[in-house]
A and B are shown apart, each in its own frame.
Chain A
Amino acid sequence: MIVYGVALLSACLILGMLIGEVLGIALGVQANVGGVGIAMLFLVLASNSEKFKSMVDGVSGTGIQFWSAMYIPIVVAMAARQNVVAAFEGGMLAVWAGVLAVTASFALVPVISRIGRPKADTDQNEESS
């Protein structure tokens, strides 16, 4: 049943969000801390476990795959509902802060990617340099 996969996905998200909220309160932060990331971990664990086999294999799995495939269309809708006007009304200060922060973060990707990478992965190092 397709709905089993969808239900498993929903359960993972809700559980992750709950933990994220609790983490936020525990840390004294007005935000959900990693709820989606925790939910993703649950789904990874469930899809690798024997116990949940009936909910991720075959037709049930297509219920999850459907939502995974809907990801890009949803992201396009997300782009279409951004407050782009407000972004540009912030003036040059906002533009500089955004542009420079993104540039510096991009530049750090290859630097931090090297941390903790086993030596056997040199082929990947060469690829990224």
Chain B
Amino acid sequence: MEILETVFVRNSLVVAFAVVGVTIWFSYLIADKLTNGRIHGSAIAIALGLLAAYFGGKATGGSTGVADLTLLGGIGLMGGGMMRDFAIVATAFGVKLSELKKAGIAGVISIFAGVIVSFVIGAAVAVVYGYTDPVAITTIGAGAVTYIVGPVTGSALGASSDVIALSVAAGLIKSILVMIGTPMIAKTIGLNNPQSAMVFGGLMGTTSGVAAGLAATDPKLVPYGAMTATFYTGVGCLLGPSILFIIVDAIM
């Protein structure tokens, strides 16, 4: 057992490659045999990943899902921000500039519309739940933008730590829902071409959610959605503690 642990820990990233490989193989098998290909294999793999993250988090009390288990620490590196961004940028290889230009204006509008709509809804839910303090309302609204915008806004405004935790939770729920919901809703919302993918990325904004949601829908759309999504958190951090807070403060 000790030898096993030593080898696994020393080669953590390699272990992660193997574990993820088996997970994906298994997911594609299920997608093929049990759903007849109706559900995309990668959608199942992502759902399994989230499920594993839940149990990993429950078992260890840590904050990075299965990566907190000693034997699976490499998942943390493989699925971390550095590798994610590296692979996202690589997906842009082969993208045509003309496709990007076609959705230019709509893409920019979608980023601002996405931040504002999510913020307003998050803030409204906070009000419904009895919050009257403009700082708390703004922080929770910012959490509905993304789980990064929430704490950035909260700490800029001096929100209490439980409100910040709540804003992170709202952002995480959003991110998970986008991962799971996108393949289900893709047809209904016309998510089948580069332009709508760019608008989708701008509206959703959560890089992890968009990255996983599009991967499970149609990998060809990934670079377009990811391109706009990466501007979203920046815009959110810009608007949250400034204009949006001023507006909330004026209303309350």
Q: Which residues of A contact B (CB under 8 A)?
A: 9-10, 12-13, 16-17, 20, 23-24, 27-37, 39-41, 43-45, 47-48, 56, 61, 64-68, 70-91, 93-102, 104-110, 112-118, 124, 127-129
Query: Cβ of B227 and Cβ of A40 under 8 Å apart?
Result: yes
Chain A residues closer than 8 Å to B67, beta-carbon distance: 80-81
What is the predominant secondary structure among interface residues of chain B facing chain A? helix
Query: Cβ of B185 and Cβ of A94 under 8 Å apart?
Result: no
Question: Nearest-CB distance from B114 to chain A (Å)?
Answer: 6
Q: Which residues of B contact A (CB under 8 A)?
A: 16-17, 20-21, 23-24, 42, 45-50, 52-54, 56-58, 63-67, 72, 75-76, 78-80, 83-97, 100, 102-106, 109-110, 113-114, 117-118, 121-122, 125-126, 128-129, 140, 143-145, 148-149, 152, 156, 165-166, 168-179, 181, 185, 189-193, 195-196, 199-200, 202-204, 207-208, 211-212, 215, 219, 222-223, 226-231, 233-235, 237-238
- The contact sample of 21 A-B pairs, CB cut-off 8 A, is A17-B85, A20-B230, A35-B85, A37-B231, A67-B87, A71-B90, A73-B17, A73-B78, A76-B79, A77-B75, A78-B208, A81-B53, A83-B57, A83-B168, A86-B168, A86-B172, A101-B170, A104-B121, A107-B189, A108-B113, A118-B102
Chain A residues closer than 8 Å to B90, beta-carbon distance: 9, 43, 64-68, 70-71
Chain B residues closer than 8 Å to A67, beta-carbon distance: 86-87, 90
What is the predominant secondary structure among interface residues of chain A facing chain B? helix
Chain A residues closer than 8 Å to B196, beta-carbon distance: 109-110, 113, 128
Chain B residues closer than 8 Å to A127, beta-carbon distance: 190, 192-193
